[in-house]
Amino acid sequence: FVKDPTRPKLAIFTVLLIATLFAHVYTWTVISLCAGVFVILLLILKRTEYSKKALALILVVIASSVVIDVAKSLATSSSSGVFRDLEFTDVRMGPSEFSQRWSILVFSVYFGLGGIMANSVIILLGLYWILRSSYKDPATIFLLVFISIAIIPLFFGDWIVQSRTLYMIPFQIPAALGLTSIIFHKSRKIAKEDSNRSVLSVTRMSVTRILSSVAICCVLTAVAVIVLSNLYRIFPPR
């Protein structure tokens, strides 16, 4: 919608955001927070290619979803997602967690959610993408905002807050972009430097890229199996 501000796209964004609110309030919180910070950054950076009216409408939609959440809570006498988030963070985030931040982080990474965050390949690929990205690209800014939401819980949250926050961050997207950059970067560089390079050299580079991608995918598959093996079913009480 920000790139092409039309009414149908605004309607789709609004409907999906409200649907997320009613489906899973914590996901709605993270998406609304990241989208709001992203739009505010675009306004601060004065990106002239985007309409200020469109950016303002996005903020209005996000604020409206907060109003709907509070109104729903008052109408049905149920807990509000906003208030629930505040209560959750108040109980599980504080100075006491700061002194134990390293042990909490270790537990969150290696044991929380079956150790899903212990996938070092995903983290390294994401880091590679961050180092190679253009920070002027709006898509890069948006993903960096998503990744940055983990900063506060890493220092002041317990393992439950950390696990939930880290699980919401789409590390897989930067990792996929990083892997794509590894596969295609060398071939593009070769084509620019020497268009007459021998067929043998090009074949060697192709084999290297294929072997690298296969090795990374094999490691990712092995880590996925380990994570699934660490998860166990908890039956609801009868």
pTM recorded for the entire structure: 0.72
How confident is the model at residue 36, as a pLDDT?
A: 92
Tokens representing residue 231 in the block: 């998860």
How confident is the model at residue 94, as a pLDDT?
A: 67
pLDDT band at 182 (very low <50, low <70, confident <90, very high): confident
Phi, psi of 27 (to 5 degrees): -65, -45
More confident residue, 24 or 60: 60
Spatial distance between the Cα atoms of 11 and 57, rounded to a whole number of angstroms: 11
How confident is the model at residue 10, as a pLDDT?
A: 92
pLDDT band at 86 (very low <50, low <70, confident <90, very high): low
What is the Cβ-side half-sphere exposure of residue 222, based on CA atoms within 13 angstroms?
8
Beta bridge partners of 157: 93
Using one digit for the tens of pLDDT, what is the confidence trace for 17-50?
A: 999 988 888 888 888 989 999 999 988 888 878 8
Spatial distance between the Cα atoms of 1 and 108, rounded to a whole number of angstroms: 36
Q: What is the mean pLDDT of the chain?
A: 80
More confident residue, 12 or 79: 12
Phi, psi of 58 (to 5 degrees): -60, -45
Alpha-carbon torsion 208, 211, 217, 222, what sign? negative
